[in-house]
């Protein structure tokens, strides 16, 4: 306060010294101005010299805050349920991702297994699972592998690196096939194929034909029991497995399927041609047994190789046949030509109908359809002509543009189209 008083006194004294002259000039008005300047100086000086107010204490609050509201049990329970739902949602998403990952892994495994299985079904791999089973043929007139030229079969199988085994079969003098199922999931170790080759000499074949002929014209049960050593095992094999397909290979060159062979066969059997044909038809239709005459063991070897290659291709073909409509492929032609309600598309159908004829190209069909837009118009054109020759040559002069070249339909195609749409005989051959 002493400083304030001194500052005030100093300013008053200074103003008094300067105010003497002012009083002399201005009078009472200057006195009022002096008073205002003193108050202004006092306030500015005090604001300059006074220290700023101290900051508020940390513990002290300017405005007291309201008390914190406590949550109810319902709110706490709702928050808990929300947290559990979020946790369960995360767990479900994690489980779904893991399941989806497992499904993708299983799908990839299935595809890999399917690809491996398909690879094993290829002929070059499937033939490695086949085994050619050859009966040594110890029963009968002569052992099978002791016949002249039988070594050609074994040498050919060894040269092709095909598996074969020489062991007694249920049907003597036979050649059969088994397929290894080691890569399959079935309980069986191998599968017997239906194809069976029965190699017979001419003597054995004549005994078979004679026995079947007697059976057809006499007591079947008695003759089956008294039949020779060839017929009885054959019937037992067919009765045991009706799906077997037996082929008789007769190894004698002079009795092949020609006129001389038929006459020789008749003379040896004492039977006419009708009786022999009856026996062969019976064996083929009722017993599923076919007959092939071969010249020597080279033909037998070739036949065995052909059957082995066909059996190696069989699994892949069966897999393709299991598909629905395997002969239909995706393409624009698969659905045909669409005909709208207004009739658009009928001319395309008319052209497609003509394309079904042999050697009628799409260009020819389009040209004929352009000249006669409907079958009725073409039939009317045929009816307007007088002679048959004019009707056959009606379309011969039409020009057809194909690959930048012009040519005519020609009389041959014109006559074929005429016969197709005017013939009354359903058995007529167009070509």
For the domain that residue 302 is a member of, what is the CATH number?
A: 3.40.50.10130
Q: Could you say which of 321, 355, 386 is where a domain stops?
A: 321
Q: How many CA atoms lie within 13 A of 120 on its CB side?
A: 13
Write the CB contacts of 29 (distance below 8 Å, at least 6 apart in sequence): none
Q: Is 312 found in the same domain as 225? A: yes
User: In this structure, what is the dihedral angle of CA atoms 384, 385, 386, 387, given to the nearest 10 degrees?
Assistant: -150
Write the CB contacts of 223 (distance below 8 Å, at least 6 apart in sequence): 211, 214, 215
Q: Is 413 found in the same domain as 350? A: yes
Q: Which of 79-83, 146-150, 203-207, 226-230 has the lowest mean pLDDT?
A: 226-230
Residue 256: left if φ>0, alpha if ψ -120 to 50, beta else—which one?
A: beta
Phi and psi, residue 192, nearest 5°: -85, 130
Q: Is 249 found in the same domain as 187? A: yes
Q: Is 254 found in the same domain as 364? A: no
Cβ atoms of 281 and 291 closer than 8 Å: no
Q: How many CA atoms lie within 13 A of 55 on its CB side?
A: 3
β-sheet bridge partners, residue 230:
none
Q: Which of 38-52, 83-97, 284-298, 381-395 has the lowest mean pLDDT?
A: 38-52
d(CA 374, CA 8): 128
Q: Does the predicted model carry a pTM greater than 0.85?
A: no
- pLDDT band of 44, cuts 50, 70, 90: very low
β-sheet bridge partners, residue 293:
250
Mean pLDDT computed over 229-251: 84
Q: Is 262 found in the same domain as 135? A: yes
CATH number reported for the structural domain that contains residue 367 in this entry: 1.10.150.670
Cα 308 to Cα 79, 131, 272, 284: the distances in Å are 76, 9, 36, 22
Give a yes or no: residue 410 inside a domain: yes
d(CA 138, CA 172): 8
Q: Is 364 found in the same domain as 254? A: no
d(CA 408, CA 429): 24
Q: Is 317 found in the same domain as 173? A: yes
Residue 24 has pLDDT above 50, yes or no: no
Write a three-state SS string for 213-242: HHHHCCCHHHHHHHCCCCHHHHHHHHHHCC
Mean pLDDT of the chain: 76
Give a yes or no: residue 10 inside a domain: no
Q: E strands, 264-404, where?
A: 289-294, 399-402
d(CA 376, CA 384): 12
Give a yes or no: residue 31 inside a domain: no
d(CA 287, CA 306): 23
Give a yes or no: residue 269 inside a domain: yes
Q: Is 366 found in the same domain as 310? A: no
- pLDDT band of 229, cuts 50, 70, 90: low
Q: Is 398 found in the same domain as 314? A: no
Domain range for 289 is 123-321
Give the tens place of pLDDT for each residue, 140-189.
Answer: 556 777 788 888 998 999 999 999 998 888 888 899 999 988 655 455 58
Cβ atoms of 198 and 246 closer than 8 Å: yes
Write the CB contacts of 266 (distance below 8 Å, at least 6 apart in sequence): 272, 273, 276
Q: Is 418 found in the same domain as 274? A: no
Phi and psi, residue 27, nearest 5°: 85, -140
Give a yes or no: residue 84 inside a domain: no
Q: Is 269 found in the same domain as 173? A: yes
Say if residue 22 is exposed, middle or buried (CB neighbours under 10 Å; 0-12, 13-18, 19+). middle
Give a yes or no: residue 129 inside a domain: yes
The total number of structural domains that make up the chain? 2
Cβ atoms of 230 and 200 closer than 8 Å: yes
Give the tens place of pLDDT for each residue, 384-411.
Answer: 999 999 999 999 999 998 877 888 999 9
Q: Could you report how far apart the first and last alpha carbons of the chain are, in Å?
A: 141
Mean pLDDT computed over 74-84: 89
Give a yes or no: residue 37 inside a domain: no
Give a yes or no: residue 135 inside a domain: yes
Q: Is 253 found in the same domain as 186? A: yes
């Amino acid at each position: 306060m002493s400083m304030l008083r001194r500052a005030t006194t100093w300013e008053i004294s200074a103003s008094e010294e300067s105010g003497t002259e002012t009083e002399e000039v201005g009078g009472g008005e200057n006195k009022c101005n002096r008073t205002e300047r003193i108050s202004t100086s006092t306030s500015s000086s005090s604001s300059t010299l006074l220290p700023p107010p101290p900051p508020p204490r940390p513990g002290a609050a300017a405005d007291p805050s309201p008390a914190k509201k406590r949550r109810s049990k319902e709110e706490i329970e709702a928050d808990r349920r929300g947290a559990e739902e979020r946790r369960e949602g995360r767990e479900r998403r994690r489980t779904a991702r893991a399941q989806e990952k497992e499904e993708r892994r299983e799908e990839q495994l299935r595809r890999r297994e399917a690809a491996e299985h398909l690879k094993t079904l290829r002929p070059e791999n499937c033939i490695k699972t086949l085994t050619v089973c050859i009966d040594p043929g110890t029963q009968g007139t002569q052992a099978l592998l002791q016949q002249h030229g039988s070594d050609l079969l074994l040498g050919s199988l060894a040269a092709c690196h095909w598996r074969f085994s020489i062991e007694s079969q249920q049907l003597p003098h036979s050649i059969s096939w088994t397929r290894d199922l080691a890569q399959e999931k079935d309980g069986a170790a191998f599968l017997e194929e239906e194809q069976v080759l029965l190699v017979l000499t001419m003597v054995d074949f004549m005994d078979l034909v004679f026995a079947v002929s007697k059976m057809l014209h006499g007591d079947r049960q008695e003759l089956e029991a008294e039949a020779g050593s060839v017929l009885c095992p054959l019937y037992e094999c067919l009765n045991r497995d009706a799906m077997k397909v037996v082929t008789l290979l007769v190894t004698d060159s002079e009795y092949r399927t020609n006129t001389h062979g038929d006459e020789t066969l008749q003379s040896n059997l004492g039977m006419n041609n009708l009786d022999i044909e009856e026996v062969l038809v019976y064996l083929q239709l009722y017993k599923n047994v076919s007959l092939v005459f071969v010249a020597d063991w080279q033909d037998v070897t070739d036949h065995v190789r052909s059957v082995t290659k066909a059996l190696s291709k069989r699994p892949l073909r069966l897999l393709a046949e299991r598909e629905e409509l395997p002969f239909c492929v995706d393409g624009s032609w698969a659905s045909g030509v669409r005909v709208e309600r207004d009739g658009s598309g009928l001319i395309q159908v008319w052209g497609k109908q003509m394309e079904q004829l042999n050697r009628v190209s799409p260009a020819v069909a389009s040209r004929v359809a352009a000249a006669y837009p409907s079958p009725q118009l073409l039939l009317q054109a045929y009816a307007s002509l007088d002679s048959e020759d004019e009707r056959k040559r009606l379309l011969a002069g039409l020009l057809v543009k194909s690959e930048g070249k012009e040519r005519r339909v020609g009389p041959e195609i014109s006559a074929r189209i005429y016969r197709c749409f005017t013939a009354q005989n359903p058995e007529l051959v167009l070509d």
